Amino acid sequence: MNARVQALIEQARSMTAEERLVALDALQELVVPPDKDWEAAWARESENRLDAYLRGDIQAEDFDVMMTRMRREFLDQR
């Protein structure tokens, strides 16, 4: 690892968790620029799912229950 990268990592260690998240988001945008069309489509999909949930068209499942089931179904099939 070069000195500039090492210095950046040392600075990150002294940051708050929130500052690290902001820095990581900025670094990620340098590597993978945001796709505005994808972001807009996902925002619409999220709103549609929330609206369907609020109308009672779909049900939610507890995260821990769902993850236990998914692990059992997909990881225990070896």
Distance from C-alpha of 42 to C-alpha of 36, rounded to nearest angstrom? 10
> Global pTM?
0.52
Provide DSSP, the chain.
Answer: --HHHHHHHHHHHTS-HHHHHHHHHHHHHHHS---HHHHHHHHHHHHHHHHHHHHTSS----HHHHHHHHIIIIIS--
Specify the number of domains making up the chain. Answer: 1
What is residue 77's predicted lDDT score, i.e. its pLDDT? 66
Domain that holds residue 68: 3-75
Query: Model confidence over 14-56: pLDDT tens digits?
Result: 999 999 999 999 999 999 988 999 999 999 999 999 999 999 9
Q: How confident is the model at residue 11 (pLDDT cuts 50, 70, 90)?
A: very high
Residue 78 has pLDDT above 60, yes or no: no
CB proximity list for 58: less than 8 A, separation 6 or greater = 49, 52
What is residue 68's predicted lDDT score, i.e. its pLDDT? 94
